[in-house]
Amino acid sequence: MLIIGVGGGTGSGKTTVVEQIVSDFPQGQVSVISQDSYYKDLSHLSREDRTKVNFDHPNAIDFDLLCEHLSELKQGRSVLEPVYSFVEHNRTNETALISPTKVLVVEGILILTDATIRDLFDIKVFVHADSDERLIRRLKRDIAERGRDLDEVLTRYQSTLKPMHQQFIEPTKEFADIIIPNNRYNTVAVDIVRSIINERVS
């Protein structure tokens, strides 16, 4: 199994890049795991207290479980990925079955911050977009898809997103094998990643 880690800041376009990378591969050859599914279980907190959690800090991620699942998949065993609710700021009672495939893509803003997880990646990709572009994308997504209002998104961006990006995410560029500028559609970089995957799995 070839495991690819795709990191980068919030709103950088990681999901779009992942979709571009895997779109040409036959169904069943590539699977995708999102770091967002591995936010820690916060059922012991009230909903009000959960909204105050810094979800952009590495401590918010259950890296132990993610590492366990990646290791299991690499050994050919299926896993049950948690299902997360951004509306409730918590895991749901549901899970999603992830089966081993030739290629596994793991995407998320913090996946390159953990050394143990990084060591499991055969290819590490960092998706870069400038801060203005990322903020605009984040605003559109959180308001349209996650039930947030404008003030909430901007407050979170200023208080946690921006400082966490500067402290934890931007420095992980140094671990990347490939950096993809994503202020616009980048066909060359995506094609390079596809070519590498084809070489490894053919």
DSSP at 61: B
Q: 124 - beta bridge partners? A: 5
Residue linked to tokens 């918590």: 90
**Contact criterion met (CB below 8 Å) for 140 and 90:** no
Q: Is the pLDDT of residue 11 over 90?
A: no
Percent of the chain with pLDDT over 90: 51
pLDDT score at 167: 92
pLDDT score recorded for residue 157: 74
The string of pLDDT tens digits covering residues 160-183 is: 778 888 899 999 999 999 998 865
Give the pLDDT of residue 119: 95
The architecture of the domain spanning 2-187 is 3-Layer(aba) Sandwich (3.40)
Q: What is the pLDDT of residues 133-157, one digit of tens each?
A: 666 666 777 776 666 777 777 777 7
pLDDT for residue 109 is more than 80: yes
CA distances from 174 to 13, 15, 20, 58, 145 (A): 19, 21, 23, 17, 32
Total-model pTM = 0.85
* Planar angle of CA 134, 139, 145, nearest 5 degrees: 115
**Alpha-carbon distance 198 to 25, whole Å?**
9
pLDDT digits (tens, 9 = 90+) for 46-83: 988 998 888 889 999 999 999 999 999 999 999 999 99
Instruction: Check residue 183 and give its pLDDT.
Output: 56
Mean pLDDT of the chain: 87
